[in-house]
């Protein structure tokens, strides 16, 4: 049985609320929420999801980089559930690259993000994990982390000319690859 939930769209106030810390990882409610997030993400072409996107204001994200028509150059990784994630930049280096969001369909934009970050999170078994991320996977993490703070990626765009319709983005990407 799959558990797919509707994705909250930009303008829905739930995307603008800071999410609450999760303290009951073992509870059936939290484990069910994780299953719903996993199934909902798997039903899309997305590479990450945050609980507020299914209208649950709790600090859980999934990072699931994989090549797809939405992100043809994404590295393949095992989808990873991260509870109460935190990060710090390992250097001030940022780079601009393309992002999209399941809550903002039809749009892509260039967003500056830290290239190398140190992250901590609690896994689904309650273990505290610390690891480093770089490049596109670090980008996905920072995008999903924003959702937990009530932000969306468009808030980080530095120039409105960096915002493209998805159809123009695909034309542009086809030309440059
Ligand atoms: Ni998003």
**Does a structural domain hold residue 3?**
no
Residue 48 lies in a domain: yes
CA of 174 to the centre of ligand 1 (A): 23
- The answer to whether residues 75 and 101 touch, using CB atoms and an 8 Å cutoff, is no
- pLDDT tens-place values along the chain, 177 residues long: 678 999 999 999 999 999 999 999 999 999 999 999 999 999 998 999 999 999 999 999 999 998 877 677 889 999 999 999 999 999 999 999 999 999 999 999 999 999 999 999 999 999 999 999 999 999 999 999 999 999 999 999 999 999 999 999 989 877 776
Query: Phi-psi region for residue 106, left (φ > 0), alpha (ψ -120 to 50) or beta?
Result: left
Assigned domain for 23 exists: yes
pLDDT at site 69: 73
Q: Report how far ligand 1's centroid is from the alpha carbon of 24 (Å).
A: 25
Please state, as a whole number, how many other Cβ atoms lie within 10 Å of the Cβ of residue 174. 8
Q: How far is the CA of 151 from the centre of ligand 1 (A)?
A: 9
Supply the range of the domain harboring residue 133: 13-176
Looking at the domain assignment, is residue 55 inside a domain?
yes
Ligand 1 center from residue 101 Cα (angstroms) = 4
Beta bridge partners of 177: none
Taking the centre of ligand 1 as the mean of its atom positions, its distance from the CA of residue 92, in whole angstroms, is 23
Q: Is residue 70 part of a domain?
A: yes
Catalytic pick among 29, 99, 144, 166: 144
Phi, psi of 137 (to 5 degrees): -70, -40
143 domain residue, yes or no: yes
Query: Starting at the edge strand that comes first in sequence, how are the strands of the sheet with 107-114 ordered?
Result: 94-99, 107-114, 163-165
Residue 17 C-alpha to ligand 1 middle, in angstroms? 14
**CATH code at position 90:** 3.90.45.10
- Determine, yes or no, domain membership for 100: yes
Strand arrangement of the beta sheet that strand 80-89 belongs to: 48-50, 60-63, 80-89, 116-122, 128-134
What residues flank ion ligand 1 with Cβ within 5 A? Answer: 101
Q: Is residue 171 part of a domain?
A: yes
How many domains does one find in the chain?
Answer: 1
Work out the angle at residue 32's Cα, subtended by the Cα atoms of residues 28 and 35, and round it to the nearest 5 degrees: 145
Active site residue 144: yes
Q: How far is the CA of 107 from the centre of ligand 1 (A)?
A: 11
């Amino acid at each position: 049985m799959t558990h797919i939930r509707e994705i909250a769209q930009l303008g829905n106030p739930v995307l603008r609320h800071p999410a609450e810390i999760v303290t009951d990882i073992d509870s059936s409610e939290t484990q069910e929420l994780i299953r719903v997030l996993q199934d909902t993400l798997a039903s899309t072409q997305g590479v990450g999801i945050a609980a507020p996107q299914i209208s649950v204001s709790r600090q859980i994200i999934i990072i699931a980089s994989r090549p797809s028509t939405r992100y043809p150059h994404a590295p393949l990784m095992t989808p990873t559930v991260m509870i109460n994630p935190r990060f710090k930049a390992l250097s001030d280096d940022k780079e601009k690259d393309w992002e999209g969001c399941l809550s903002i369909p039809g749009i892509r934009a260039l967003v500056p993000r830290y290239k190398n970050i140190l992250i901590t999170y609690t896994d689904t078994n309650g273990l505290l994990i610390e690891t480093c991320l770089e490049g596109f996977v670090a980008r996905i993490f920072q995008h999903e982390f924003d959702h937990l703070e009530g932000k969306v990626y468009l808030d980080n765009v530095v120039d409105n000319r960096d915002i493209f319709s998805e159809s123009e983005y695909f034309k542009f990407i086809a030309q440059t690859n």
